[in-house]
Amino acid sequence: GESVGLHLPTLSVQEGDNSIINCAYSNSASDYFIWYKQESGKGPQFIIDIRSNMDKRQGQRVTVLLNKTVKHLSLQIAATQPGDSAVYFCAERSYSSASKIIFGSGTRLSIRP
Amino acid sequence: GAGVSQSPSNKVTEKGKDVELRCDPISGHTALYWYRQSLGQGLEFLIYFQGNSAPDKSGLPSDRFSAERTGGSVSTLTIQRTQQEDSAVYLCASSQGGRGNGELFFGEGSRLTVL
């Protein structure tokens, strides 16, 4: 079935460095992708989204890159801060599935002081 | 309210009992989602509502699971004859709806423990 997965289950980054979280998806019909951040004990929080007609989108300290050729999505966090420690999920939606949003398994980002 | 509200926040029940989980979405949000998250895992899609109708129920794990939404607002997820494998955090989210909107606003979840 449709799935969204991640290359790395955990990522440890030095404070101040940039973080890159990767995600692979399998559904070639996916046309919309979203990144969420989940802190311990809380529900996921929207970070940034990107449509399939784009290959890059920037937000505040975050950039999402989309490579449709290899079905790969990445989230880049600039100047990583302690508050960035969380689990990050990529999610996707296919045009044919209306608003059904499928989440990947997540990557835990930990920050070294 | 200001955000998505879920109740109860914690529920411990015995195997075989029925449970109801409630979600109160952000006012005016037409779309409502239920997900299940097991410990250390990702979010498993259960069901999605647009208004009061559920276009996609494909994620419900079995016929013991059902959900309804009334008045385009509050939703209830019911699990009948609970099993231990139902133990998880059940997350509800709402959004303004529409194809271009993937910004879901999540509640803090209802943690279900089946003994």
* Spatial distance between the Cα atoms of B90 and B6, rounded to a whole number of angstroms: 9
The nearest CA of chain B is from the CA of A84 a distance in Å of 18
Which residues of chain B make contact with A99, given a CB cutoff of 8 A? 31, 48, 50, 55, 95, 97-99
User: If you measure CA to CA, which chain B residue comes closest to A104?
Assistant: B42
Which residues of chain A make contact with B48, given a CB cutoff of 8 A? 98-100
Taking a C-beta distance cutoff of 8 angstroms, is the pair A91, A31 a contact?
A: no
**A7 vs A102, higher pLDDT:** A102
pLDDT digits 0-9 by tens, B64-113: 999 999 888 999 999 999 999 999 999 999 998 765 567 899 999 999 99
Given its phi and psi angles, is residue A61 left (phi above 0), alpha (psi -120 to 50 degrees) or beta? left
Q: What is the DSSP letter of A63?
A: E
Phi, then psi, of A45 in degrees rounded to 5: -125, 130
Taking a C-beta distance cutoff of 8 angstroms, is the pair B107, B4 a contact?
A: yes
Q: What share of chain A is helix, strand, coil (3-state, %, to 5)?
A: 5, 55, 40
Residue A95 scores a pLDDT above 70: no
pLDDT digits 0-9 by tens, A32-54: 999 999 998 899 999 999 999 99
First to last CA, chain A: 40
Taking a C-beta distance cutoff of 8 angstroms, is the pair B24, B4 a contact?
A: yes
Contact check, Cβ <8 Å, A44/B104: yes
* Spatial distance between the Cα atoms of B82 and B113, rounded to a whole number of angstroms: 10
Q: Which among A42, A49, A105 is the nearest to B102, CB-wise?
A: A49
Phi, then psi, of A79 in degrees rounded to 5: 50, 65
User: If you measure CA to CA, which chain A residue comes closest to B6?
Assistant: A43
Quote the pLDDT of residue B98: 64
**Count of other CB atoms within 10 angstroms of residue A60:** 7
To the nearest whole percent, how much of chain A has pLDDT over 90?
68
**Whose CA is closest to B112, among B25, B43, B14?**
B14
Contact check, Cβ <8 Å, A45/B106: yes
Which residues of chain B make contact with A25, given a CB cutoff of 8 A? none
* Spatial distance between the Cα atoms of B104 and A44, rounded to a whole number of angstroms: 9
Quote the pLDDT of residue A3: 41
Quote the pLDDT of residue B9: 96
Residue A4 scores a pLDDT above 60: no
* Spatial distance between the Cα atoms of A13 and B105, rounded to a whole number of angstroms: 28
Q: What does the CA dihedral A102, A34, A36, B110 come to, rounded to 10 degrees?
A: -40
Q: Which of residues 3-62 of B touch A (CB under 8 A)?
A: 4, 31, 33, 35, 41-45, 48, 50, 55-56, 58
